[in-house]
Structure 1
Amino acid sequence: MSFFAPYKNQSDADLVALISKGNSGAFREILIRYQNAVYGFAFSILKDAQEAEDISQEIFLRLYRTADSYRSVAALKTYLFRITRNLCIDHLRKMRPEAMTNPPESVTTKTPLNQFCAAELKKQIDLVLSGLPKNQRAAIYLRHEQGMDYREIAETLGVTRHAVESLLSRARRSFRSRFKF
């Protein structure tokens, strides 16, 4: 039995209350529950593993420092994601490059880690997409890979615009339920 097992069955709100009293076991349980999700969300916005890790650490440090002011109006995951989104947007604004008169000839952010992460993410996405029904997969591809509008997709698939909306809605819902990052 793990030393931190007593925290597994406690609600997020109870854990945050314990964190506000300095309970490190409760904090560890929150990390276990949400660290990967927060990192994944930050990475999806920033597209940079190191920056996403830094933002994730900042999120949990803020939670630890301000746990006593947390009010469980929204789910903790929602609260953490909202903070993540805001910090990522702030970070991107700070990082916005100034106009360059003489840009360098070649600027690359293709590090081995970024390439590996991108390849792994693509494999996971492709795997989830391959499990979707054929029409949903086609609609997703035409919309997101080819940039077609709903009318063009309807013409291509030989269905109505309403059917395209329905296909895309079901495909996205299915994708979200199956995709685990």
Structure 2
Amino acid sequence: MSGETDGEEAPRTLLALYDDALPTVYGYFVRRCPDRGTAEDLTSETFLAAMDAARRDRSAPISVPWLIGIARHKLADHYRRGHDRRAVPVAEVPEPGDPVDSWDAELDRIVAESVLAQLPEHHRTVLSLRYLDGLPVPECAELIGRTVHATEALLVRARRAFRSHYPEGGAP
């Protein structure tokens, strides 16, 4: 009977973390996906995969960073599969605050997200991994299944495409 309790400890820990982790995991996807539906689907996939992992490996380090690691893999898998709903980009409503100080930055973010959503999937993927996630080029290459040299070349083309779509010729 005690073995059964031990086997349920990791899933229970994950369930206890769910409410706190959900906004972080969903927020991770909503900034990297072209629409809310995809972000919601990938969030669900992440928690299902986490529950499977928690049931299989009782020593899994159940935490928000662990969940974000699973989320990164789900996002990479999503882009490898080529699923893209091509819907309206996700734009968050600016939070209340000092409109003079924050509005320009918020507007730049919304424009940048819109431009990113217009790019081809492989450009959007590599730019998101490199600049939103802050991953080094070798790790980006591994996630998208390319060599480091090919990923560097793809980043050059993706940055060029981003600048060409950005209003007034480029990011400030």
TM-score by length of 1: 0.44
Greater RCO (Cα-Cα under 8 Å, separation 6 or more): 2
Question: Which structure's CA Rg is the greater one?
Answer: 1
**Structure 2-normalised TM-score?**
0.46
